[in-house]
Amino acid sequence: MRHLIDIGDLAVGEIDELIAVAEDIMAHPAKYAEVCRGKQLATLFFEPSTRTRLSFESAMLALGGSVIGFSSADSSSATKGESVADTTRTVGCYADIIAMRHPKEGAPMAAALKSYVPVINAGDGGHNHPTQTLTDLLTIREELGRLGDFTIGMCGDLKFGRTVHSLSSALARYAGIRFVFISPDELRIPDYLRLSLLRQGFGIEETASLEGAIGELDVLYMTRVQRERFFNEADYVRLKDSYILDAAKLSLAREKMLVLHPLPRVNEIAPEVDDDPRACYFRQMRYGKFIRMALIMKLLEVRP
């Protein structure tokens, strides 16, 4: 039995295989419609979510399976003091696979250590979000046509942004990636990630200027400044609008640069950008369903 807690749990060949299966699902959806008949997915979301939770549920239903679970810690026995491990063992009696989101780093790992069924980390605090990373990789592959030899700019909350941490670690396993990290000093990437990339020989640039960097990018990965990760409201208010991608800034970019965002957005991408063909973030959400279908199949060891 396997779990997915960190994107590093998957070999590069396995990631490429998942992407290939997702592409086949997009091309031949009817072929996969009954693959998980009789199987149940439990979505245990101790933290709010729209896209991740619904895409997991949609993925399982599209595979012919069913879904149980909760969308808030308030509707679970966590409010009575039940541990994550006990919740997981309980739910494992009713479901075949679990997708868990939790505000505390490491909670899905603690759950996996005691689980009777595969556990998928659907985001744990500011640490990791491997299925968003799979979504991002599929998006780049579909829209750019390759998973190597490009420059990616990551902009916004790079300190607490679990999607940035996961995606950077994943892309570091492909050749020819150049990283440009765009953030205020207070929200720079964690030291461990910077040192890891440098040790692996990757070129990285850190800057506070989106306008100065955007012209050299093949992919721009925008993120919101996350209110829920701040202990000080004044710091959040001061930093929340540090970067706003609008039509004027986008005019400085390459004609075929991709704009990605894990969503939700607040003010960091102006609505006027949505209709630009370079804006991929809503297509990105659609890709998320298909890659999660492929992942569920892999962990449940089922095939069409």
Query: Mind telling me the catalytic residues?
Result: 51-52, 80, 101, 129
Could you give the angle at the alpha carbon of 232 between the alpha carbons of 229 and 236, nearest 5°? 65
Among 114, 1, 98, CA closest to 41: 98
How far, in Å, CA of 98 to CA of 118, rounded?
A: 6
Among 43, 39, 46, CA closest to 55: 43
How far, in Å, CA of 88 to CA of 4, rounded?
A: 15
Contact 129, 164 (CB under 8 A): no
Among 192, 215, 73, CA closest to 126: 192
Could you give the angle at the alpha carbon of 14 between the alpha carbons of 8 and 15, nearest 5°? 70
Are β-strands 150-155 and 177-182 bridged in parallel, bridged antiparallel, or unpaired? Answer: parallel
What type of residue is 260? L
3-state secondary structure of 119: strand
**8-state DSSP, 185:** G
Backbone phi, psi, residue 72, to 5°: -155, 140
> What token pair was written down for 10?
């998957």
